[in-house]
Amino acid sequence: MHSFLKSGKLGEAGSSNSPTSGSAKKRLKKLQWVEKYRPKTVEDVVEQKDVVAVLKECISGADLPNMLFYGPPGTGKTSTILAAAHQLFGDLYKDRILELNASDERGIQVIRDKIKTFSQLTVCSARADGNPCPALKIIILDEADAMTQAAQAALRRTMEKETKTTRFCLLCNYVSRIIEPLTSRCTKFRFKPLNQSFILERLQAICKQEKVLVAENILNVLVQESGGDMRRAITALQSCANLQGKNSHITLENVYEVLTVVPEKWVANFLDLCRKRTDIKQIIQFINELEQQAYPTHKIFEQLNVLLIESDTISEPLKAEIGEYLAESSFRSTCSRADFTHLLDFAVHTQEILTVDPEARKWEQQENAKCTIIQGLV
C-alpha cells in the first residue's frame, strides 16, 4: 500500500506483472479504473489485516486452507484472492486458477463437470522461472451465495475428495446463505466496510496518477457517499472525470449527478414542511415538484433518515417514531412504484407526529385501536 501511495502505481515494488510495454500501457489506459487499480499484491490490500496476514504466510510456504471471504461489496474480496493467486503462481496463474462467478451456470451439473475435471488435473510444484510454488490449484467461486443449495451440497463432497490437489475460495456478501457443511470446511474471513480515510487516500492517489483535478472537500463527499465500498467510490470518480473531460475541475454537482444524491435543499425543505402545520395542498405541490426531479425515492428516504438523526430540534422519542415509519415507507416504496403516494403518506404522518400534541395523539391512537377491536367483533 505504501509503495502505491508513494509512487501512485499499484504493485510496482517487485511485481513481475507491472506492465511496461507500449501495448500494455495502451491496454491499461482503456481499462476501467477499478480494474486498473486493483491491488496487484496482497500487501496493497488495505484494512483486511487478518486475511492478508494468513495469505502472506501461505505465499511464503505455509499450507493454504479452503477459504470463505464474506462481507459487503467493494471491500476487496475478489482483489485479495486474485492478488494472492498471482503471487503464488506467477506465470502459471492461468493453469492453476478456475474462476467462476454468478453469471456462469453453476447448477449441480457444473459442479460435477467443470469443477471436478479441473480439480482432478495434476500439477507440479515449480514455476517456469524456477521458483517453488504449491502443487495446488485454486477454484474461486465468486458470489457463492447465489449458488443453489443442491450445488453447494455437491461442492461439499468435491471439496473433501480433492483436498490433496485443490483449494476452494468462496466469495460472498451473505455468509448466512452458505450451507453450514461448507462454511465449516473453510477458514472464514469477514471483510469490513473500508475506513473512509483509506478510500480517500486511494482516490487521491488515483487522481494524481490520472491527472484529475478535484478539491478535497468534494472528494470527501464522494467518499462519504460510497459507504465503505471502494468500487463505488472509484467508479464514481471515473464517471465524474469522464463528465468533466481532461484538465477541468470536478464539481460538487458532478458528484451529486453521478451518485444521484438529492440536493440538500430538497431534503431539508421536505422536513421543514413536516415540522409546520403546512396546508396539505402545499405539501402535495412540493412532492409533485420533487417527483419531477426524478430522484430515486429510496434515496430521498435515505437522506431524510440522515437529516432526521442529525437534527438537534427533534426529540429522541419522536425521532424513533418517525424513523420507524420512515423504514416502513422506504420498504413499501421498493415494493411498489407509487412513489408519490409513499412520499405523501410519510409527509402527512410525520407532520402529525411533529405538530399534534402527544397526549391528543395517544388518545386518538387508543380510540382507533378500540374501533378496530369493535369492528373485529361485529
Ligand X SMILES: Nc1ncnc2c1ncn2[C@@H]1O[C@H](COP(=O)(O)OP(=O)(O)O)[C@@H](O)[C@H]1O
List residues binding ligand X (CB under 6 A).
34, 37-39, 45-48, 73-79, 191, 194, 230-231, 234
According to the 3-state scheme, what is the secondary structure of 94-107?
HHHEEEECCCCCCC
Three-state DSSP class for residue 162: coil
Shortest Cβ 201–Mg ion spacing (Å): 21
Using the minimum distance from each CB to ligand X, give the nearer residue, 37 or 89: 37
The entry of ligand X, Mg ion, none near residue 36 (CB within 5 to 8 angstroms by kind) is none
| Residue 228 near which of Mg ion, ligand X, none (CB within 5-8 Å, type-dependent) | none
Least separation in angstroms between residue 143's CB and ligand X is 9
Residue 34 interacts, among Mg ion, ligand X, none and using kind-specific CB cut-offs from 5 to 8 Å, with ligand X
Task: Give the residues across from 138 on adjacent strands.
Answer: 97, 167
Which residues ranging from 270 to 299 are in contact with Mg ion (CB under 5 A)? none
Helix (H) or strand (E) holding 214: strand 213-214
Nearer to ligand X by Cβ, of 141 and 234: the residue is 234
Asked whether 144 and 153 are in contact (CB, 8 A), the reply is no
Taking the complex as a whole, the smallest distance from the CB of residue 144 to ligand X amounts, in Å, to 12
Residue 96's binding partner, choosing from ligand X, Mg ion, none, with beta-carbon cut-off 5 to 8 A by kind? none
Give the total of residues touching Mg ion (CB under 5 A): 1
Nearest CB to ligand X, comparing residues 242 and 366: 242
78 binds Mg ion (CB under 5 A): yes
DSSP per position, 112-148? IIIIHHHHHS---SB-TTS-B--S-EEEEETTGGGS-
Q: How far is the CB of 76 from Mg ion (least distance, A)?
A: 9
Using alpha carbons, select from 233, 80, 232 the residue that is nearest to residue 171. 80
For ligand X, the closer of residues 5 and 108 by Cβ is 5
Q: Are 244 and 320 in contact (CB under 8 A)?
A: no
Gyration radius from the chain CA atoms: 26
Whole-angstrom Cα distance, residue 245 to residue 239?
10
Amino acid at 256: Y
Kindly list the distances between the CA atom of residue 285 and the CA atoms of 57, 342, 350, 361, 373, in Å, as whole numbers in the listed order: 63, 15, 17, 26, 37
Q: How far is the CB of 28 from ligand X (least distance, A)?
A: 13
Q: Which stretch binds Mg ion (CB under 5 A): 76-84, 267-275, 317-325, 331-339?
A: 76-84
Distance, in Å, from the CA atom of 247 to the CA atom of 16, rounded to the nearest integer, reads 32
Rounded CA gap, 200 and 228, in Å?
A: 10
Instruction: Identify which of residues 78 and 152 has a Cβ nearer to Mg ion in the complex.
Output: 78
Give the binding range for Mg ion (CB under 5 A) out of 60-68, 72-80, 231-239, 326-334: 72-80
Residue nearest to ligand X (CB): 76
User: If contact means CB under 5 to 8 A according to the sort of partner, which of ligand X, Mg ion, none does residue 68 touch?
Assistant: none
Cell of 210: 490520472
Is 228 within 8 Å of 199 (Cβ atoms)? Answer: yes
Instruction: Decide whether 259 or 274 has the Cβ nearer to ligand X.
Output: 259
Measured between alpha carbons, how far is 83 from 81 in angstroms, rounded to an integer? 5
CB under 5 A: which stretch of 73-81, 232-240, 270-278, 279-287 binds Mg ion? 73-81
Nearer Cβ to ligand X, position 234 or 354? Answer: 234
Determine if 333 is a binding residue for Mg ion (CB under 5 A). Answer: no
Print the SS3 string covering 329-348: HHHHHHHCCCHHHHHHHHHH
C-alpha cell at position 327: 423504514
CB of 191 to ligand X, least distance (A): 6
200, interface contact from ligand X, Mg ion, none, CB < 5-8 Å by kind:
none
Nearest CB to Mg ion, comparing residues 142 and 321: 142
Q: How many CB atoms lie within 10 A of CB 4?
A: 24
Tell me which residue of 23, 167, 173 sits closest to 85, measured CA to CA: 167
Smallest distance, ligand X to C-beta of residue 247, A: 24
Find the shortest distance in angstroms from Cβ 246 to ligand X.
22
CB of 38 or CB of 137, closer to ligand X: 38
Give, as one character, the DSSP assignment of residue 11: T
Residues at the contact surface with Mg ion, assessed by CB under 5 A: 78
